[in-house]
Amino acid sequence: MLGSGLSRPLEGVFLELAKAANNSKSMVFSVDSPSGFFTEQAMPEGAVAVEADFTLSFHCPRLMFFFPESQAFLGTWHVLDIGLQTPQTNEFSQDSIPYSYTLIHELKPIIKNRNAFSHKGNFGHALLVGGSRGKYGAMILAGRACLKSGAGLTSLIVPSDAVNIMQSALPEAMCIASDASDIIQGSFNLEKASAIGFGPGAGTDEATSKTLKAIVQQGIAQMVIDADGLNILSENKTWLAFLPSGTILTPHPGEMDRLTEKADSTYDRLQNARELSRKFSVIVVLKGAYTAICFPSGEVHFNSTGNPGMAKGGSGDALTGIITALLAQGYSNSESAILGVALHGLAGDIAASEFGEFSMLASDLINCLGDAYSIIQE
Amino acid sequence: MLGSGLSRPLEGVFLELAKAANNSKSMVFSVDSPSGFFTEQAMPEGAVAVEADFTLSFHCPRLMFFFPESQAFLGTWHVLDIGLQTPQTNEFSQDSIPYSYTLIHELKPIIKNRNAFSHKGNFGHALLVGGSRGKYGAMILAGRACLKSGAGLTSLIVPSDAVNIMQSALPEAMCIASDASDIIQGSFNLEKASAIGFGPGAGTDEATSKTLKAIVQQGIAQMVIDADGLNILSENKTWLAFLPSGTILTPHPGEMDRLTEKADSTYDRLQNARELSRKFSVIVVLKGAYTAICFPSGEVHFNSTGNPGMAKGGSGDALTGIITALLAQGYSNSESAILGVALHGLAGDIAASEFGEFSMLASDLINCLGDAYSIIQE
Amino acid sequence: MLGSGLSRPLEGVFLELAKAANNSKSMVFSVDSPSGFFTEQAMPEGAVAVEADFTLSFHCPRLMFFFPESQAFLGTWHVLDIGLQTPQTNEFSQDSIPYSYTLIHELKPIIKNRNAFSHKGNFGHALLVGGSRGKYGAMILAGRACLKSGAGLTSLIVPSDAVNIMQSALPEAMCIASDASDIIQGSFNLEKASAIGFGPGAGTDEATSKTLKAIVQQGIAQMVIDADGLNILSENKTWLAFLPSGTILTPHPGEMDRLTEKADSTYDRLQNARELSRKFSVIVVLKGAYTAICFPSGEVHFNSTGNPGMAKGGSGDALTGIITALLAQGYSNSESAILGVALHGLAGDIAASEFGEFSMLASDLINCLGDAYSIIQE
Amino acid sequence: MLGSGLSRPLEGVFLELAKAANNSKSMVFSVDSPSGFFTEQAMPEGAVAVEADFTLSFHCPRLMFFFPESQAFLGTWHVLDIGLQTPQTNEFSQDSIPYSYTLIHELKPIIKNRNAFSHKGNFGHALLVGGSRGKYGAMILAGRACLKSGAGLTSLIVPSDAVNIMQSALPEAMCIASDASDIIQGSFNLEKASAIGFGPGAGTDEATSKTLKAIVQQGIAQMVIDADGLNILSENKTWLAFLPSGTILTPHPGEMDRLTEKADSTYDRLQNARELSRKFSVIVVLKGAYTAICFPSGEVHFNSTGNPGMAKGGSGDALTGIITALLAQGYSNSESAILGVALHGLAGDIAASEFGEFSMLASDLINCLGDAYSIIQE
């Protein structure tokens, strides 16, 4: 069935044909896009379109391919090269917004090989800050992901009760105890840190908020803020203006809504993320099936790796560790966000193939980071 | 030797033939069932039947195949299709009770695949409650089994001394500390929990009993009660009437006897389990070589997976974690019980093939859950 | 060069020939035994014998093959079948003492298979007692070996400070806290224990001695005493007479000397072990390259498995756990000692082939117990 | 392009040719050494030489091949045998200093095989001293490397708070608690130690300095000093004269500079290390891409194993453990330094091939020590 990018609802015989296809038990293939499906904007309420099992599109993906609401219509989609004058591309624009769909092979050029004469000082000192009683595991995951992502040195600021847990779990990491036994509290000397990741399991205690504020005030640009770090920012939105330019925020949809406003659709949430990025000159990594990395320039990069086996507690903590490690090694903030998200998803895909989506854990994903890196580097 | 389903003891020449077969050193094969063996009820005391090494039965298994007392007569048994008008089945009834023997391939249809756009919220929040000083390991096993069975989030309520142990062992899980250092005590906000598993290593302290009572009173239907949770119920039988309909109880034979009365035979114990299930509208998972899942409707499902390498401390804790995770993911109580028991046994079978029945541990079984799930999903 | 079992030193031309062979750079093979070598007793001081690289002996091994002092003369030895009327045997007697050399295939008949309908109660409850500050690891190793050797339930009595360490490391085991934080102290209810292993890392504090005395007084026959348990006995030799008949002692040479007297040679030490066994009706497992299991009857079984990669701290702790598990499962004391020592050595051989003698640890050996059991069971 | 060992800068047409080669996008191969490259001394400032991708040299490597400054000119280099009268060698001298480049196959002869009748006492008792709050992981790594390098017994002196961490992580090791909870403090009985490794994660507290001083004063020759042990020596240079002859120091470049003076070039730093070795009769292991082992005789051995994946925190701790284990087993100080450095790098190379340079950790390296040993032993 020949698809179309029409921006008006199906009517008449086309509507009837679509309904018939949807009621049929046959496998439905759509070409270009399913008839009646809106490729550039959300479907109007009540509109009908063909619900395909597979969609074969041309030249470049369309914006609406990246939203959960479209899945019922698109099924599994692929983009085919049809020999247009410009070569096949994963870049496309929509309402003058430049989008791209990052494929694995495009990342190889940004990989930095380790020089034969390099030493641990050449790979930076990554500092992770987080953990609160009952959520110390988040810092084990973030720390381990950081270690397995090539950082020269990794230090963890954790509640004092968690220091020994970290030392047991992560013998390669050094620890600095918070002033409090069960939360992050106090001010810390960050001079030795090449990059900072704040948030895994941190909680939102007022003392912890003060610590985050103090770190932000030190103006270190190589920073990732995740999880409870984002929740603290949501409760203190005036602080957003003080984030150093290039800071990477990694919200999941719920955290995104708290940072901005409750979105009516995933499309609206993406636009909120873009606006947040532009307004405060930060990189917003909006996590989802196709994680969207929004840059202050307005550009959006959709990630192409990952699977629903990662939809489990701990996956986000791993991402924070990975991006912090990349920043520490001297990757630019943009590269760290794009490469980190891709590595995270690819490691998840390898873990899913080994342990299954049902059973794979964030720990399994982390153990697959080396293989993910090798695939990108190939 | 042609077997029979006779319900009277062998006499005369048949008796002599059976004795001769039993004294012979030859391999003995029985067809249908061993001569003199009672397939529908326990053997009368002193009755003689052929003691086969292998039994090849027809069309459907018989009730007495599932009891340990029969093993001496049946040896290893198989059911063959003989082309009756109704197709071969694993369902059979006895005294108007509907029994069935759950085979792996029958479980595939109830498996829920993880949608590409799903997030951790789609897979529920599993809450496990248990642990007491000296028995914290039970919660590590239950927690890990829960994590490896697809739950979106896993939280553990444990004695405060055990919090750090859990965080080290299970970084993907969150912990909530009990009011006491070494037992479960206090009342807890269960609002965020999609399913609750109570009991592994919990002990039977009065304070812990009060906690269980409080949880039962909250009336959350998606609940598994195991181990010391069952022992608390045994000591407070009036509470059984307050269990939310559909609650899953997972007793081993000793716990079953304490919940009802000491059974004279495994057949009687099964009927006690059925009666308990019917009376209180709960699902009773009576653990054994052929674990029997008893439903309030009177139906009994015998499980077909598992091996004696699982006859070691910790196996039951793993089952509690698995069923809790399935409940959290939105499987119905019946599906969770049947699928959980099957996954547990199948993972045990994989672990036995890898590590041997002698050496396999509950931890090994848990690590094989991903493969067990894949086999069912195939 | 034709060997001989002569019991007098070489002289004359034979002496010269032996010296010439020893000075030669050629590979030296001896047949039967090296010329001048005493096969039934220690070499006299100053006596010369051929120093072979390989010795091919006939019909059965000779006693002196099993002592380190002989290695320089025998090199690597093998026993060949030469068609004597009695079949080749690994039994031989010397000074009316019945010796045997236990080969792997001889152990298969004593293996107990796990019955399909068995439950954890059928495999006993193993209890290990030990640990003192700085030596808690010994109990992790013993406990893990016990778990991996088929026990139905495993409990550990450890200093209270060590409880959480054990729970983390061995989630399948239950723990009972000693009355003291850093040593074994107090009296314990042993009723539920099917077998007891005492000693790994226990230290020799007076309070710990009292605990051992109290356990001995309870007269539980299924008991292994190792390490510091043996050192306590050495300091309290009158207690030896109160050991229940069949108690298994597992000394290394230093512990053996302390239990009896400093031996002048490994041959004398073996006779001391035999005498200890006979006098107190205990089984003495004298550890070494060919571990000698001495029975009250006077019999000695030399073990045929193991390698020098096991010559590292922790190997003995593993053996204690294995034998305790076998006792708990209902193996007789003799079977437990012989099978346990063989499994331990065989697991060590598998670990050496996987990790190398240089790098293999007791933990590696323990992980190979399942494979060792499979090989014996084949 | 034919290379040359000229010790004067390129001029005229040669200079132009070299510049042309360097601007070309072709792959550049140099024979002997790149034209204009100084093989025996640092390049003069501003001098130009061919920048090869590969260099094929003859007979023996040249001194400047081993310095990072040369990498831009040499690319990847190999030494070829060209049939000179003396056989190909990895020894060469420069300014009358004897250098050598240690190849794996040269190490096989110094390997000590484990005798069949040996026991744990034959492989020594290794003692590691270190750890301070937040840096306990360094002792886990050093301890594990020591255990995996064949020591008969391993003991750790650690802050009292770290004892239980060590017991969990390293059950085969014994622990002795420092007098302080969070640092090394106190004096210890070292009589049972066959070799001592001091420094991993030790910190430089005054009390810890006193402990090191006390150990040095006991004059135990089989000692490795690393990390904070070196920093303490840097702050107390008069102590260097009291180090027992043959003590092994294992500085990285920063520690080396603190022990002597800030070096202007890697060549100068090597000469500082040689001078330190000579002056105090110690062995200096100057870590780097080609780790240089400097002996009091003036000899320098460059190591041939290792890769930049090891440029991460924890690698040095592993080396300390390895060398301490070798010393404990009776290897001479020279053998321990040379073999230990080679094993460390080779294990790192195996880990890199398994986990990738990006993801490999010191823990991974340690797990590969058995394979590294096997390769050397082949």
Rounded to a whole number of angstroms, the distance from the CA of C2 to the nearest CA of chain B is: 47
Question: Do you know the residue count of chain D?
Answer: 378
How many CA atoms are closer than 13 Å to the CA of D159, on its beta-carbon side?
25
C161 reaches D (C-beta below 8 A): yes
CA gap B10, B33 in Å, rounded: 14
Q: Do C140 and D171 touch (CB under 8 A)?
A: yes
A2 burial type by CB count under 10 A (0-12 exposed, 13-18 middle, 19+ buried): exposed
How do residues A60-89 score in pLDDT, each as one tens digit? 888 888 888 888 898 888 888 776 656 556
* Residue C125 lies inside a defined structural domain of this protein: yes
Rounded to a whole number of angstroms, the distance from the CA of B294 to the nearest CA of chain A is: 27
How do residues A176-235 score in pLDDT, each as one tens digit? 999 999 999 999 989 899 999 999 999 999 999 999 999 999 988 799 999 999 999 999
* Residue C343 lies inside a defined structural domain of this protein: yes
CA gap A336, A110 in Å, rounded: 10
Q: Which domain holds residue C241?
A: 108-377
Statement to judge: residues C227 and C194 lie in one domain: yes
Q: Do B123 and A360 touch (CB under 8 A)?
A: no
The tokens for D178 are 């420092």
Statement to judge: residues B262 and B305 lie in one domain: yes
Statement to judge: residues A296 and A362 lie in one domain: yes
Among chain C residues, CA nearest to D160 = C134
Q: What is the pLDDT of residue A84?
A: 65
User: Which chains are adjacent to chain A, needing at least 3 Cβ pairs under 8 Å?
Assistant: B, D
Q: Is C267 helix (H, G, I), strand (E, B) or coil?
A: helix
Statement to judge: residues A70 and A113 lie in one domain: no
Considering A32, A60, A88, which residue would you say is the last residue of a domain? A88
User: Which chains are adjacent to chain C, needing at least 3 Cβ pairs under 8 Å?
Assistant: B, D
CA gap C178, C158 in Å, rounded: 6
**CATH code, domain carrying A300:** 3.40.1190.20
Instruction: Name beta bridge partners: B293.
Output: B285, B301
Contact residues on chain C for B148, CB-CB shorter than 8 A: none
- B107 closest CA partner among B309, B345, B328: B345
Q: Do B171 and A137 touch (CB under 8 A)?
A: yes
Considering B39, B57, B89, which residue would you say is the last residue of a domain? B89
Q: For C328-346, what is the mean pLDDT?
A: 97
Least confident of A11-20, B238-247, D5-14, D232-241: D5-14
B184 reaches C (C-beta below 8 A): no
- Count the Cβ atoms, other than its own, within 10 Å of residue A23: 8
How do residues C217-230 score in pLDDT, each as one tens digit? 998 879 999 999 99
Among chain B residues, CA nearest to C157 = B134
Contact residues on chain C for B140, CB-CB shorter than 8 A: 167-168, 171
Q: For C85-109, what is the mean pLDDT?
A: 81
Q: Do C359 and D148 touch (CB under 8 A)?
A: yes
Statement to judge: residues D267 and D349 lie in one domain: yes
DSSP sequence for A289-357: TT-EEE-TTS-EEEE----GGG-STTHHHHHHHHHHHHHHTT--HHHHHHHHHHHHHHHHHHHHHHHHH
pLDDT band at D273 (very low <50, low <70, confident <90, very high): very high
Statement to judge: residues C300 and C154 lie in one domain: yes
C258 burial type by CB count under 10 A (0-12 exposed, 13-18 middle, 19+ buried): middle
Q: Do A137 and B370 touch (CB under 8 A)?
A: no
A152 reaches D (C-beta below 8 A): yes
The tokens for C319 are 């053996």
Statement to judge: residues D73 and D113 lie in one domain: no
Q: Which residues contact C115 (CB under 8 A, 6 or more apart)?
A: B71, B308, C122
Q: For B120-146, what is the mean pLDDT?
A: 96
Least confident of A291-300, A328-337, B231-240, C35-44: C35-44
Q: Which residues contact B70 (CB under 8 A, 6 or more apart)?
A: B37, B64
> Best residue in C118, C149, C163, C167 to probe B by mutation, most B CBs within 10 Å?
C167
* Residue A1 lies inside a defined structural domain of this protein: no
Q: What is the pLDDT of residue D7?
A: 67
* Residue B162 lies inside a defined structural domain of this protein: yes
Q: Do A137 and B167 touch (CB under 8 A)?
A: yes
Q: What is the pLDDT of residue C301?
A: 96
**CATH code, domain carrying B64:** 3.40.50.10260
Contact residues on chain C for B134, CB-CB shorter than 8 A: 163, 167, 174-177
Statement to judge: residues C35 and C165 lie in one domain: no
How do residues B323-340 score in pLDDT, each as one tens digit? 999 999 999 999 999 999
Among chain B residues, CA nearest to C153 = B313
* Residue C94 lies inside a defined structural domain of this protein: no
* Residue D302 lies inside a defined structural domain of this protein: yes
8 A C-beta contact, residue D344 and residue D318: yes
How do residues D32-82 score in pLDDT, each as one tens digit? 889 888 888 888 888 899 999 889 888 788 888 888 888 889 888 888 877
Q: Do B150 and A361 touch (CB under 8 A)?
A: no
Statement to judge: residues B125 and B206 lie in one domain: yes
Statement to judge: residues A194 and A82 lie in one domain: no
- The tally of domains found in chain D comes to 2
* Residue A254 lies inside a defined structural domain of this protein: yes
In this structure, what are the phi and psi dihedrals at residue D45, rounded to the nearest 5 degrees?
A: -60, 135
Statement to judge: residues C219 and C299 lie in one domain: yes
> Best residue in C312, C319, C320, C367 to probe D by mutation, most D CBs within 10 Å?
C312
Closest by Cβ to A363, choosing from B171, B176, B369: B171
Statement to judge: residues C255 and C329 lie in one domain: yes
Q: Is B361 helix (H, G, I), strand (E, B) or coil?
A: coil
Q: Is B305 helix (H, G, I), strand (E, B) or coil?
A: coil
- Count the Cβ atoms, other than its own, within 10 Å of residue B186: 16
Q: Is A226 helix (H, G, I), strand (E, B) or coil?
A: coil
* Residue A3 lies inside a defined structural domain of this protein: no
The tokens for A72 are 């019922």
- B36 closest CA partner among B17, B54, B57: B17
- The ipTM assigned to this model is 0.92
pTM: 0.94
Q: What is the pLDDT of residue C1?
A: 34
Rounded to a whole number of angstroms, the distance from the CA of A25 to the nearest CA of chain D is: 47
Identity of the residue numbered A120:
K
Closest by Cβ to B114, choosing from A137, A311, A355: A311
C344 reaches B (C-beta below 8 A): no
The tokens for A225 are 């803020």
Q: What single-letter DSSP state applies at residue C225?
A: E
Closest by Cβ to A357, choosing from B114, B174, B177: B114
Among chain C residues, CA nearest to B253 = C119
